[in-house]
Structure 1
Amino acid sequence: MNEYRTKEQKIRFYKSKEWKGLRLKVLARDNYECQECKRNGFVYTDTHDPEKHKRLDVDHLKEIEDYPELALEIDNCEVKCIPCHNKKHNRFQKRRKKIFWDDEKW
């Protein structure tokens, strides 16, 4: 059975042709839409450039380090936008400060 505990093992897995093929199948199955956004009444899609999918991730519902036997099971995967995926894993991106002007700058 494969182990996915170290960073190197995970990198090797996510670079594998088996994962890349499954990822494309999951994206197509989920219509390139974030399933978490859909559950919450929103639609986040990336159909404008389906070959790049830079704003969509394929998430393992049961994590591969805990359930390595499910790593390549399509039913254990779903599409999530990066903000939803980061929220699930408690990863937050730095937000830029908004700048407000006191007077008009011309």
Structure 2
Amino acid sequence: MPVVKTRADRAKFYGSTQWRKLRKECLERDNFECQWCKADGRLTMQSDSILEIDHIKELEFYPELALDIDNLRTLCKDCHNFRHKRMNYRGNAKKKKWSDEWW
């Protein structure tokens, strides 16, 4: 079971040969398609977006599932960011702070 408590631990884990091989297997299994977009009737592939591998049960809380392919799914960058509540995802258009009127 990999240790992934710090940022350096995660960098080491995601740079490992074992992870890279498993990541490739997951992408192939999922036909290089975002699984959330696919479930929503959209097709998002490698040519459309950066594809990332998501741990369904998060790595931080379930390190024992870090290399379990059944705990992995392919998501596009937008869906992965949305899943982790990061700011730069498709569904969160930047709101204007000021109106178009300048007076």
Structure 1 residue 81 displacement after superposition:
0.2
CA offsets 1:58-86 (integer angstroms, 9 cap, x no match): 11101111111100000000000000000
Structure 1 residue 2 displacement after superposition:
2.8
Matching residue of 1:58: 53
What do you get for the CA RMSD once the two structures are aligned?
2.1
Structure 1 residue 96 displacement after superposition:
7.9
CA offsets 1:26-83 (integer angstroms, 9 cap, x no match): 000000000010111111012x5xxxxx710011101111111100000000000000
Return the letter of the residue paired with 1:82. K
Residue 96 and residue 90 in structure 1: after superposition, are their counterparts in 2 closer, same or farther (change >3 A)? closer
Q: What's the TM-score, normalizing by structure 2? A: 0.81
Q: What's the TM-score, normalizing by structure 1? A: 0.78
Matching residue of 1:51: none
- Asked whether 1:29 is paired with 2:24, we answer no
Structure 1 residue 3 displacement after superposition:
2.2
List runs of 5+ in structure 1 lacking aligned partners: 49-53, 98-106
Pairwise mapping of residues 44-83 of structure 1 onto structure 2 (< 5 A)?
A: 44-46=44-46, 48=47, 55-83=50-78
User: What is the CA–CA distance in structure 1 between the aligned matches of 2:72 and 2:34, rounded to whole Å?
Assistant: 12
Matching residue of 2:19: 19
Identical aligned residues as a percent: 44
Paired residue total: 92
